[in-house]
Amino acid sequence: MGRSRERKKHYLQIAAVVFAFIFLLSTALLMVSLWENRNLTYFPEGSFGAQSVIEYNGTEYEFRDGIRTLLVMGLDAYTEADVIEGYTNPRQADFVMLIVIDDVAKTVSALHINRDTMADVPVLGLAGEKIGIVNKQLALAYAYGNGKVVSCRNTADTVSSLLYNVNIDHYVSVTMESVPLFNDLVGGVEVTVLDDFSGVDDELVKGETVTLMGEKVMTYIRSRKGLDDSTNSARMLRQRQYLNALYEKSLERAEADETFILDAAVLMADYMISDCASNQLTELAQTIVDYEFIGIRSIEGKNVVGEMHMEFYPEIESIKKNVTELFCAPKN
């Protein structure tokens, strides 16, 4: 009995901890048998630039060994007005988070990156080859490519360039329409409303505690237009709040229902793309559970109203701070 409970708790930790980081990936990490029969296709590794020495606060840093990364993307469709000429698809990376696994320190951390971040995005030709660079919102890097592995790799290359050419070892993308499905599977998630949604959804009253169900969860974690603070930075705060609450609710549901993890795995099977095979997903999940989680970071910067969209300009010093602390050591 006790052994069974411990085993279930262990699987629960795999599901819940990873889920809290990466928007619906957790249960997918558990569905090894479902992945065994999937025909995975691989886009060639990104052509990263040379990792150079980074000078920060008067000290020179260089990248160190023993670090693994997993880029997580929450995908959403975007309007026709945003379509870019070339090899494109109707998706954007609405949620971007880099999971950092430090095999030396035995820690796991996450870097939540603003989707509005202005970055150098590779432009792809019809065969998927890189034919140029444009300065666009990070979210639009996914728009180049086939909407699958090529788009994932292009987003990974964009994030790598933004972070001084850090290696992006693996990626996973999850479509955002799966969020309310999983949300309802756990029985809804309770949050205290952080913003004034008057005119957007009058049932979401600032300061009141509500249980998010169905599409209301998407209203809460995605809305910007019509709010006093329409920046993605404000939305990211709600997303992290929701993830923390979802983590706790997932723990409760998996403890109470032995079929929950399997049900969630089946639900998620059609909503994700990854370059990882089943054994890699399993190993990543095991590592994340075993290592110490040391928090979610973000890059500081300035929100600016652009000609068509909000634009986020990251502070160079904030990028350097995050990169040196997560990936580097002082140069000898």
Which pLDDT score is estimated for 98? 93
Give the residue-averaged pLDDT of 298-325.
92
Which pLDDT score is estimated for 281? 66
Which pLDDT score is estimated for 83? 42
Q: Is residue 182 part of a domain?
A: no
Structure token digits, residue 48? 């990263």
pLDDT greater than 70 at residue 201: yes
pLDDT greater than 50 at residue 19: no
Judged on CB neighbours under 10 Å (0-12, 13-18, 19+), 130 is middle
CATH number at residue 54: 3.30.420.590
Interacting residues of 296 by C-beta distance below 8 A, sequence separation 6+: 21, 97, 109, 110, 111, 112, 240
Which pLDDT score is estimated for 63? 96
Q: Is residue 191 part of a domain?
A: no
Report the number of distinct structural domains present in the chain.
1
Give the residue-averaged pLDDT of 181-209.
94
Which pLDDT score is estimated for 76? 80
pLDDT greater than 80 at residue 192: yes
Which pLDDT score is estimated for 262? 67
Interacting residues of 265 by C-beta distance below 8 A, sequence separation 6+: 27, 28, 30, 31, 34
pLDDT top residue among 124 and 264: 124
pLDDT greater than 50 at residue 153: yes
The Cα-based distances of 62 to 50, 149, 282, 331 in angstroms read 11, 30, 30, 6
Which residue, 1, 4, 28, is CA-closest to 14?
28
Q: Is residue 164 part of a domain?
A: yes
pLDDT top residue among 82 and 27: 82
Q: Is residue 44 part of a domain?
A: yes
Which residue, 113, 194, 184, 109, is CA-closest to 155?
113
Interacting residues of 202 by C-beta distance below 8 A, sequence separation 6+: none
Which pLDDT score is estimated for 68? 94
Q: Is residue 243 part of a domain?
A: no
Give the residue-averaged pLDDT of 177-202.
92
Structural domain harbouring 326? 2-177+271-330
Which pLDDT score is estimated for 31? 31
Q: Is residue 102 part of a domain?
A: yes
Which pLDDT score is estimated for 319? 97
Give the residue-averaged pLDDT of 168-195.
90
pLDDT greater than 90 at residue 217: yes
Chain-centroid distance, C-alpha 192? 23
Q: Encode burial over 190-225: b for 16+ CB neighbours within 10 A, e otherwise.
A: ebebbbebeebbeebeeeeebebeeebbbbbbbbee
Contacts 24+ apart (CB under 8 A), 318-326: 319/162, 319/163, 319/164, 320/54, 320/55, 320/56, 320/164, 321/56, 322/111, 322/163, 322/297, 323/54, 323/163, 323/164, 323/166, 324/54, 324/56, 324/61, 326/67, 326/100, 326/102, 326/109, 326/111, 326/297
Q: Is 26 helix (H, G, I), strand (E, B) or coil?
A: helix
Q: Is residue 324 part of a domain?
A: yes
Span 56-101, pLDDT tens digits: 999 999 999 999 999 989 888 544 334 444 577 888 898 899 999 9
* pTM of full prediction above 0.85: no
> What's the CA angle centered on 172, arms 169 and 175, to 5 degrees?
160
> Do 99 and 69 form a contact (C-beta atoms < 8 A)?
yes
Span 226-267, pLDDT tens digits: 898 888 888 888 988 888 788 778 778 877 887 776 677 677
pLDDT top residue among 326 and 27: 326
Span 288-308, pLDDT tens digits: 767 888 888 899 999 998 877
Q: What is the mean pLDDT of the chain?
A: 79
Q: Is residue 73 part of a domain?
A: yes
Amino acid sitting at position 203: E
Amino acid sitting at position 323: V
Which pLDDT score is estimated for 129? 79
Which pLDDT score is estimated for 175? 84
Percentage above 70 pLDDT, the chain: 78
Q: What is the dihedral of CA 295, 22, 133, 42, to 10 degrees?
A: 130
Give the residue-averaged pLDDT of 117-126.
89
